[in-house]
Amino acid sequence: MLTHLRCWRCRRTYPWRRLINLCDCGMPLRAEFELDPQTLPKEALRDREPTLWRYKEVLPPVPPVSLGEGMTPLLPAPRLGRRWYVKDEAQNPTGSFKSRGMTTAVAVALHLGADVLAAPSQGNAAGALAAYAARAGLPTHVFMPTDTPQPCIQECEQYGADVTLVDGLIGDCAAEMRRRMNEKPGPGAWFDLSTLKEPYRVEGKKTMGYELAEQMDWHLPDVIIYPTGGGTGLIGMWKAFKEMKSLGWIGDERPKMVAVQAQNCAPIVRAFEAGAEFAEEFPNPETIAAGLRVPSAIGDFIMLQVLRESKGTAVAVSDDELLACSIEMTRTTGVHACPEGGATLAAARRLRECDFIKDSDTVVLFNTASGLKYLDVLSETGARQHA
């Protein structure tokens, strides 16, 4: 049962039944649940719908706004590694893992009386927000960099979202959104669904952790390799593992969590290697993997805590590596990998070489979106490889 919200940083608490973004200290809020083995027995899942809302007892108690998201395939990838798997988030309704966060965030916002929704995005989050807002019947505004992949822009327009393209990075998009929001106070005000600036996107993302446990017969992998921009997936899965222990589903075992970033936009990698608590903004960020071009994240300290608690690590890979590996993943697994998905394979190879990953380890690579959204980038790379 959802009981309240708590600040990830200062621990101040808030009631959950009102629209809220951040703590008064400016940090993200976390949804807190009262859980025990009677809350949700494993057996109760047997005949439930194959969506993330099958875990309704550990999700916000509101009517779902659903397009059938979740329960994405966990596919063996023996041509990549002996006990390696790909979790294919491209199978979500909007073609990316962002469907998970938006189904819960939009459902709560609708239930609590939001009139208009808004968010900055590199592309996939905007598409997911536009889709779920359309499902909920709520107007929405999305702000994206001008160089966002065209399929993502067109997707938002087709769902009926108001699209603003900004000459700059995601931080510039957020600044423009805030400027527009300040012009619309009172009735009809916009509600901000930015990454970790409301409590419920992470609740949808945490279901990736629940699904992994269920799909692996209530065992967890040894290593999870995850492409990391804003970090809600990494944070959400770690939250899920702690919740599952309270439910009696798992014991103390935990995967090593690995955050993968692009070499030229790697604030978490740099902070992890320096032993820092927070990540400084990465200067002049550049990467072809749009979802990894996040030079500064409000959840930086939470991500770094997860990596250290899990005895994991952070790895930066080059654009050439991640693009080549996205094509290799596609051709060896049949999963049409996005550049960010390719980054996980590039990182896994690096970690295998340095013996961080053992031959006996069970490893899960996350493909976070469909390669169909990146055909311009991937086709150019393939052409170069065969030139």
Give the model confidence (pLDDT) of 63-97 as tens digits: 999 999 999 999 999 999 999 999 999 999 999 99
Give the position of tokens 């790909």. Answer: 86
Task: Give the pLDDT confidence score for residue 126 in this predicted structure.
Answer: 97
pLDDT value at 387 more than 50: no
Mean pLDDT of 121-130: 95
Separation between Cα atoms, residue 196 and residue 301, nearest integer Å:
12
Rounded to an integer, what distance in angstroms lies between the CA atom of residue 201 and that of residue 193? 8
Residues 6 or more apart whose Cβ sits within 8 Å of residue 140 = 116, 117, 118, 119, 129, 130, 133, 134, 161, 162
Mean pLDDT of all residues belonging to the chain: 95
Summarised one tens digit per residue, pLDDT across range 280-309 is: 999 999 999 999 999 999 999 999 999 999
pLDDT, average across residues 176-192:
87
CB-based contact 30:41 (threshold 8 Å): no
DSSP 8-state assignment for residue 274: H
**Which candidate, 255, 232, 309, 242, places its Cα nearest to that of 32?**
242
Fold of the domain spanning 74-96+202-385: Rossmann fold (3.40.50)
Band (pLDDT 50/70/90 cuts) for residue 380 is: low
- Location of each CATH 3.40.50.1100 domain in the chain: 74-96+202-385, 98-192
Query: If pLDDT is split at 50, 70 and 90, which confidence band does 22 have?
Result: very high
Percent of all residues in the chain with a pLDDT value above 90, rounded to a whole number: 93
Give per-residue pLDDT as tens, 306-362: 999 999 999 999 999 999 999 999 999 999 999 999 999 999 999 999 999 999 999
Quickly name the fold that domain 98-192 has: Rossmann fold (3.40.50)
